[in-house]
Amino acid sequence: VISQWNKNICMNKKHMNLFGDKDKFAIEAELWQRDEGYIFINYCLWIENNMVGDKEQTAVLSAELDRITKITELKGQRYITPNRLSAKQITDNLINSIWFDNHNDHDISPAENAALKNLDILSQYGECFQGFFVFLLEGDGYEWLLSKEDGNNKYLDIKLPYGFIYSCFDEFLKWIKDLTILVLRRDEVSTTSL
């Protein structure tokens, strides 16, 4: 049984963190739990000081973990064949190809080991990420993050040295695991002792 002190450090108050650099790319997150119930998460992305998502939108952590974990699990499976299209054109082509199943002659070509659907990140069950389409592409020595706000047609993109975006997501997942491990252990203890 976990002492009252350990319960308080588990999740009974809010824990906030920023992973990365808002001037380039960052993930802003908050985990919280009330009365030993579900663990909730609020998070968003930042691309060059522009918020992608809605940090006020709350979700149950267990429902978000699949989409967050999938990003790092598919590292190395998002390589693309370079072309001369602009970030806006590539974003629109990806949205049409992945979300609306419309293909044209100017579609982006993923490398042999990358499926087109791997480029789409943070979407889940037919819903984009908090009103944004977000794509992560890998090239020789760089990661390219592309986004488009669904309602306002606002486009954002940034190319960063390879490993920068993935390291932010790795740190984010480690933080989640570190903060929730005592809660998960308590849940395992309570279910195994029945």
Can you tell me which residue has the tokens 């999740």? 11
Give the DSSP letter string of 47-66: ETTEEES-TT-EEEHHHHHH
At 188, is the pLDDT very low, low, confident or very high (cuts 50, 70, 90)? very low
Please say whether the beta carbons of 135 and 92 come within 8 A. no
With a cut of 70, say whether residue 42 has pLDDT above it.
Answer: yes
Q: What are phi and psi of 102, to 5 degrees?
A: -105, 120
At 110, is the pLDDT very low, low, confident or very high (cuts 50, 70, 90)? low
With a cut of 80, say whether residue 6 has pLDDT above it.
Answer: no
pLDDT tens-digit map of 54-108: 999 999 999 999 999 999 999 999 998 877 889 999 999 899 888 886 655 445 5
Determine the Cα–Cα distance for residues 9 and 65; give it in Å rounded to an integer: 21
Percent helix, strand and coil across the chain, each rounded to 5? 35, 30, 35
- Measured at the CA of 97, the angle between CA 74 and CA 55, to 5 degrees, comes to 60
Q: Identify the residue with better confidence: 149 or 115.
A: 149
With a cut of 90, say whether residue 183 has pLDDT above it.
Answer: no
Please say whether the beta carbons of 14 and 154 come within 8 A. no
With a cut of 80, say whether residue 168 has pLDDT above it.
Answer: yes
Per mean pLDDT, which of 91-95, 164-168, 177-181, 189-193 is the most reliable? 164-168
Please say whether the beta carbons of 119 and 137 come within 8 A. yes
Of the candidates 77, 85, 128, the one whose C-alpha atom is nearest the C-alpha of residue 106 is 85
Burial 94-104 (b: 16+ CB within 10 A, else e): bbebbeeeeee
Q: Report the helix count and the strand count for the chain, using DSSP H and E.
A: 4, 10
- What pLDDT score was predicted for residue 14? 85
With a cut of 90, say whether residue 166 has pLDDT above it.
Answer: yes
With a cut of 70, say whether residue 22 has pLDDT above it.
Answer: yes
DSSP state of 118: G
- Average pLDDT score, the chain: 83
Please say whether the beta carbons of 143 and 162 come within 8 A. yes
With a cut of 70, say whether residue 172 has pLDDT above it.
Answer: yes
- What pLDDT score was predicted for residue 155? 97
